[in-house]
Amino acid sequence: MSVTISFFGDFVAVNPQKISFSEEVQRLLDGSDINVCNFEAPIDGGFKAFDREGPRVKQLPESARLLMGHGFNVFQLANNHMCDYGEEGCLATIRALKEATIVGAGTFEEAYKVAVKEVNGIKIGFLAFVHHEFGVLEGLESPNTVGTAWICHNKVGQIISDAKKAVDFLFVLPHAGIELVDAPLPEWRSLYKHFIDLGADGVICTHPHVPQGWESYKGKPICYSLGNFYFDAITCSHPYWNKSLVAQIEINDCKDVKLKVVNIVNNEGKIDIDASEATLLHNGEICLLLQNSETYSNYINRISFKCWQEYQVWMVRGLGAISAKLGFKESLKSFYCALFRPRAKSLLMNAMQCESHRWTILRAQKLLKN
Q: What is the CB neighbour count within 10 angstroms for residue 34?
A: 20
Backbone angles phi, psi at 262, to 5 degrees: -115, 130
Decide: 35 and 4 in contact? Cβ < 8 Å. Answer: no
Q: What is the pLDDT of residue 235?
A: 85
In a shared domain, residues 212 and 92: yes
Average pLDDT over residues 92-105: 98
* Exposure string for 35-49, b = 16+ CB within 10 A, e = fewer: bbbbbbbbbbeebee
Q: What is the pLDDT of residue 231?
A: 97
DSSP 8-state class, residue 43: B
- Per-residue pLDDT band at 50 (split at 50, 70, 90): confident
- 152-181, pLDDT tens digit by residue? 999 999 999 999 999 999 999 999 999 999
- CATH code at 147? 3.60.21.10
In a shared domain, residues 37 and 180: yes
Which domain, by its residues, includes 100? 2-291
Report pTM: 0.95
Cα dihedral 245, 192, 178, 18, rounded to 10, equals: 30
The Cα–Cα gap between 245 and 7 comes to 8
In a shared domain, residues 277 and 309: no
In a shared domain, residues 21 and 96: yes
Average pLDDT over residues 140-151: 96
Average pLDDT over residues 187-207: 98
**Final residue belonging to a domain, choices 266, 291, 316:** 291
In a shared domain, residues 286 and 301: no
In a shared domain, residues 231 and 331: no
In a shared domain, residues 185 and 320: no
Domain count, the chain: 2
Q: What is the CB neighbour count within 10 angstroms for residue 156?
A: 20
In a shared domain, residues 202 and 344: no
- Per-residue pLDDT band at 58 (split at 50, 70, 90): very high
The Cα–Cα gap between 281 and 265 comes to 15
In a shared domain, residues 13 and 129: yes
* The dihedral sign for the CA sequence 270, 34, 173, 12: positive
**Final residue belonging to a domain, choices 291, 306, 341:** 291
Q: In the predicted model, is pLDDT for residue 324 greater than 60?
A: no
The Cα–Cα gap between 233 and 253 comes to 41
> Residue 148: CA atoms inside 13 Å, Cβ hemisphere, count?
34
